[in-house]
Structure 1
């Protein structure tokens, strides 16, 4: 039988490492089930079987199913926000329209190339509960702020009029989420590149 090692190690890993590995397995199982069968059809028991863990181990990491859904959703958004921030940095000095198009491309690729991620980000997260809706809207607000920051560079460079773009940014994020939600939910969906091109046209219209 494997014996605990020094400094709380067991099987060569610390308790923190084992817990992180369990959490990762639950996150992977949540993405798989929420992104295929759907949130409403996925029970904690099914998630645990998918992760090959016990329900006791599940509740050591997550208070309930909503907590796991939020964690998976946050992970998708965190990766997308990091990718968009990197795109904005890498396209510094280019025309605003090209910077927006590049940001949209990496946003769509990060969130929607894997249909499971798209389903979590745009379909399964919507309308779950008041608490989840509050979290979703707070995440949306952060995307609006990021869009405003990008547009502010266009103001500084004299590419677009100097005005308040908060409402335009909100309208754009709403349009982007709605378009990708519809794209994700349509069985005979168009190529993702078509959705990206449509997003670019919407952004051009909003910025004039």
Structure 2
């Protein structure tokens, strides 16, 4: 009498192939990082308009198909890069604000501005990509820039309120105007380098921005409604 052999259990889950220790998802993420790193280098070195998708792919050692697996266009690649840089800046600024929370406003202001400048200027390519290339690329990129400014203005308004500044309907517009002025100072600092002027240091930019915001703060204090005695 023969015994029937029970079939050995099988795992029908497909085995994920690993190449150089990476599975498909990890390789895809690596290609995306390579493409964004290449875009950073090329946009900063030779401008957005003079950089082609093929150049980005060649610099990243990624095929054109790999590019389109992640981005629909060069504009989409730039927008993703801008978002990546912006996230890093926001994180560093928020961390700096948390470290000096509860201290006097001039101390907080100096720490936040220093963190912001170092986030964009320690690697000059980041400043060039975010402030030197973003203008006029497309409506989608302009919308992203506006969102970035809005976030920065909301962040500044929050810091003013944390420093016991009286809230007012004009506080957010003033913050937006202040951020616009700060961004213009950064753009001027950046273009001064590109035009062959004597290079100003990062510390000079920090000082200039601190001086500018201090003047805005003085104006706010001078025009704030006075509390009756």
TM-score (ref. length: structure 2): 0.83
Cα displacement (A) at 1:97: 1.2
The answer as to whether partners of 1:31 and 1:120 remain within 8 angstroms in 2 is: yes
Q: For the residues of structure 2 that align with 1:104 and 1:177, how far apart are their CA atoms? A: 12
Aligned pairs, number:
199
Q: For the residues of structure 2 that align with 1:140 and 1:63, how far apart are their CA atoms? A: 25
Structure 2 counterpart of 1:58, from 67, 70, 73 = 67
Cα displacement (A) at 1:9: 2.6
Tell me, what secondary structure is at the counterpart of 1:35? helix
The answer as to whether partners of 1:183 and 1:195 remain within 8 angstroms in 2 is: yes
- Identify unmatched segments of 5+ residues in structure 1: 1-5
Map residues 156-175 of structure 1 onto 2, 5 A cutoff: 160-164=165-169, 165-175=171-181
Q: For the residues of structure 1 that align with 2:178 and 2:107, how far apart are their CA atoms? A: 16
1:8 aligns with 2:16: yes
The residue aligned with 1:74 is: 83
The answer as to whether partners of 1:143 and 1:173 remain within 8 angstroms in 2 is: yes
Q: For the residues of structure 2 that align with 1:131 and 1:70, how far apart are their CA atoms? A: 8
The residue aligned with 2:188 is: 182
The residue aligned with 2:51 is: 42
Cα displacement (A) at 1:161: 4.5
The residue aligned with 2:211 is: 201
Tell me, what secondary structure is at the counterpart of 1:8? coil
Q: Which has the higher contact order (CA 8 A, sep 6+)?
A: 1
Q: For the residues of structure 1 that align with 2:217 and 2:17, how far apart are their CA atoms? A: 56
The residue aligned with 1:27 is: 36
Off by >2 Å, runs of 4+ in structure 1:
160-164
Cα displacement (A) at 1:162: 4.3
The residue aligned with 1:3 is: none
TM-score (ref. length: structure 1): 0.92
Rg larger in 1 or in 2? 2
Q: Kindly provide the CA deviation profile for residues 56-92 of structure 1, in whole angstroms up to 9, marking residues without a partner as x.
A: 1100010100111111111111111100100110001
Map residues 137-156 of structure 1 onto 2, 5 A cutoff: 137-155=146-164
RMSD across aligned positions (CA)? 1.3
- Identify unmatched segments of 5+ residues in structure 2: 1-13, 219-229
Q: For the residues of structure 1 that align with 2:53 and 2:167, how far apart are their CA atoms? A: 51
Q: Kindly provide the CA deviation profile for residues 26-56 of structure 1, in whole angstroms up to 9, marking residues without a partner as x.
A: 0100100011111011000000000011111
The answer as to whether partners of 1:77 and 1:111 remain within 8 angstroms in 2 is: no
